[in-house]
Each structure stands twice: as C-alpha cells, then as structure tokens.
Structure 1
Amino acid sequence: MLTVGSIVIRCSDLERQLLFWTAALDYEPRLPIDDDFVLLRPRGDTGPNVSLDAMPSERVLPPRIHLDLYADDQAAEVERLESLGAQLVHWPKRPPDADYLIMEDPEGNRFCVVDASPGEAA
C-alpha cells in the first residue's frame, strides 16, 4: 500500500516560503530546519506533509502539478492568502461556473482554492 507522505515544493527563498506555507496551511516545521530543506506537517496530523526544497528550478506554465486547497469560505481564504503574499492568477479559459480560483505563492508556484462550502461538489 502507498500513501502520500509529502508534497515537495522547490523554492529559491526557503525562509520566505516557510513563512508563507506555514501560515497558509497552519502547518508547523519539523525541527531542526536544514539550510536547504524543511518538512512542514499538519498540526493535527491530518493531511500530507509539504516539504520545501531550496533548489531553484525553472518555472513551467502551466505547471505539471499543483495543490488544490479546499476552503469552506473561499472568499475569506483568498483574502487571507493574499495578505500573506499570494496573488490571484487570471486564466482566460477558466469556466464562468468554476468552483476554483487560481493563485500563486510569493515565488509563483501555482495552486487552486476550491470552494468546498456545504452543498458544493468538491
């Protein structure tokens, strides 16, 4: 049997990404933190780990893989994530009835915020 242990995000500025993703997901870093790698884990042990790897890499659009983050209050979460340094991404092919918004973290790694409010299909 396989399970997802960690999703790895490559980054240039490990400290900035650590601050963003711990606040965005309410995760905590496993100590000690290395100079070039940190594993973030959920505070309640629910969900996969997210690891940050200080290994600059070429940004490819559209990304081959991204995170879908489910939100009970999509508008509030988007506003909170923007206050942490994320930005909304305009995609002209996004359907008008889409339940997701595309965002990117401070280094341009894209993710979606999906409306998972009660009654929505997530």
Structure 2
Amino acid sequence: MADMLRVGSTVLGVSDVRRAVEFWGRAIGYVPRDKEIDETWVVLVPADGVGQNISLMRSDTPVQERPRVHLDLYASEPDREIDRLIELGASRVDWPDYPPNADFTVLADTEGNRFCVIDKSA
C-alpha cells in the first residue's frame, strides 16, 4: 500500500518576503531552510526540527478580510503571547464574530494575513 499524503507546508502570500521571514522567525522560532532568501519564495522550518513548514510566497493579491485558510497558534499563556506578537509587528483585528467566551484572538501579521492565538491553558 502506498503512503498517504501528508501536509508538507502551509503557504502564506506576502508582499514583502524578507519582512515576513523576520516576523514569523521571531514569532514562532522558524528559520529559512536555505541560506539565501529568495525575494519571491522562502520555506521556513522549525528551528528545533519539530513541526510543519511554513512557506512565504511573494503575492500582490490583496489580503482577505475573511481568509479561507489561516494559522491557529496554540498558547498556554495567550495574553503574554499576544503582547509579544504585537511588539513584533502583529496587530489586533477588529473581528465582529467572536462567540461568547471566545478562546481565541484574531491578529494580523506584518503583511495583513489573519491568524489566531488559541488559549490552550485549560
């Protein structure tokens, strides 16, 4: 029987690859797979070798207010992580659809891509 497919990388469209490499590298501890940073495409890998790759692709497509795909980042101390991410250049998104007692916060990276910080403290 052949091996099943597996997710190798999640790709984010960005307008400035270098800026996105800097943000995501500091945000989640990822590093470029290759020494040279291409201005159109970079694969980021976990520095500790654990986790899925994230690729950054140069794109002129406008940011979607309600993206069909986004990253969920789990945090045991979400408030602390949100503050840290904002210091790195992320911004809070005025999200109109928070449910009561939401366990997540919607942020945007330096490129405007939405992502969530999920409270996993419980």
Task: Say which of 4, 10, 27 aligns to 1:7.
Answer: 10
Judge conservation of contact 2:78–2:117 (CA < 8 Å) in 1.
yes
- When the two chains are superposed, the root-mean-square deviation of aligned CA atoms in Å is 1.1
Shift of residue 96, structure 1, vs aligned partner:
2.7
Aligned to 1:108: 112
SS in 1 for 2:118: strand
TM-score of the aligned structures, taking structure 1 as reference length:
0.91
CA distance in 1, matches of 2:10, 2:96: 28
Q: Say whether residues 1:60 and 2:60 are aligned partners.
A: no
CA distance in 1, matches of 2:96, 2:41: 35
Aligned to 1:21: 24
Give the ranges of 4+ consecutive aligned residues of structure 1 lying more than 6 Å apart after TM superposition.
Answer: none
Task: Say which of 77, 82, 87 aligns to 2:86.
Answer: 82
- The number of residues matched between the two structures is 118
Structure 2: gaps (5+ residues): none
